[in-house]
């Protein structure tokens, strides 16, 4: 069963803590993306990676970090420097950076 998985579905974090969101795909896609979604804001790009061992900042990268050590995995770390981290986080992948994006089910992060 191919696709993109994100875990966990819900995540609670205390202020001042870093937290890592998982994103895995078995579609053999080169490109992967992280978006943040807030009500009324649509999807905003945090980081993207066109190929393994390479990634670029998106529009709202401050307070976030990523790694792309494997083609299948693109974890996102929300650091304590992110002042307003409560949001819905979506991971996506595509065959290459010009093509259709396939989204995972998302992780809802809530800061307590």
CB of 103 to other proteins, least distance (A): 4
Close Cβ partners of 84 (under 8 Å, ≥ 6 residues apart): none
- Judged by CB under 8 A, does residue 48 bind other proteins? yes
The piece of 19-27, 64-72, 74-82, 102-110 that touches other proteins (CB under 8 A) is 102-110
Q: Which residues of 16-28 are buried (b: 16+ CB within 10 A; e: fewer)?
A: eeebebebbbeee
Query: Considering the rule CB under 8 A, would residue 41 count as an interface residue with other proteins?
Result: yes
Shortest distance in whole angstroms from residue 14 CB to other proteins: 25
């Amino acid at each position: 069963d191919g696709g993109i998985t994100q875990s966990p579905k819900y995540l609670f974090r205390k202020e001042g803590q870093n937290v890592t969101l998982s994103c895995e795909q078995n579609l053999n896609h080169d490109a992967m993306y992280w978006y943040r979604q807030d009500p009324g804001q649509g999807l905003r790009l945090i980081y993207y990676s066109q190929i393994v061992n390479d990634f670029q900042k998106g529009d709202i990268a401050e307070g976030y970090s990523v790694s792309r050590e494997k083609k299948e995995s693109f974890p996102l770390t929300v650091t304590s420097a992110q002042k307003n981290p409560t949001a819905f986080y979506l991971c996506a992948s595509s065959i290459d950076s010009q093509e259709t994006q396939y989204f995972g089910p998302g992780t809802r992060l809530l800061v307590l």
